[in-house]
Amino acid sequence: MTQDTRREALAALAQLSDLAPDVRIGQLMAHLGILSEDEGGHGLGDIEDSDLLKVIDHHRGELSQSMSNAQGHKTGSATRRSAV
């Protein structure tokens, strides 16, 4: 474990938290634990910081895409309504 990787993982966790403000920290950690077991076979207590960073980045990408899709649906719906 390097301090740089640790700082990067903590910063990524903060960004992930900002993407999902309604998700409690415990829930977020539980999600990451499930993802880390699914992706690498290690729980949060055993995962290396660099591997956790990969899991966080993966989940952050999923949330960003999900939010983009939701925004597109809202914008599309509003556009369709205004055209009617």
14 and 42 Cβ atoms separated by less than 8 Å = no
The 3-state DSSP composition of the chain as helix, strand, coil percent (nearest 5) reads: 80, 0, 20
Residue 13: how many other CB atoms lie within 10 Å: 19
Is this model's pTM higher than 0.85 or not? no
Whole-number Å distance between alpha carbons of 37 and 43: 5
**Would you kindly state where each structural domain of the chain is located, as residue ranges?**
24-83
Residue-level pLDDT, tens digit, the chain, 84 residues: 688 999 999 999 999 999 889 999 999 999 999 999 988 788 888 989 999 999 999 988 888 888 777 777 665 555 444 443
Q: Give the Cα-Cα-Cα angle 1, 28, 59 (nearest 5 degrees).
A: 70
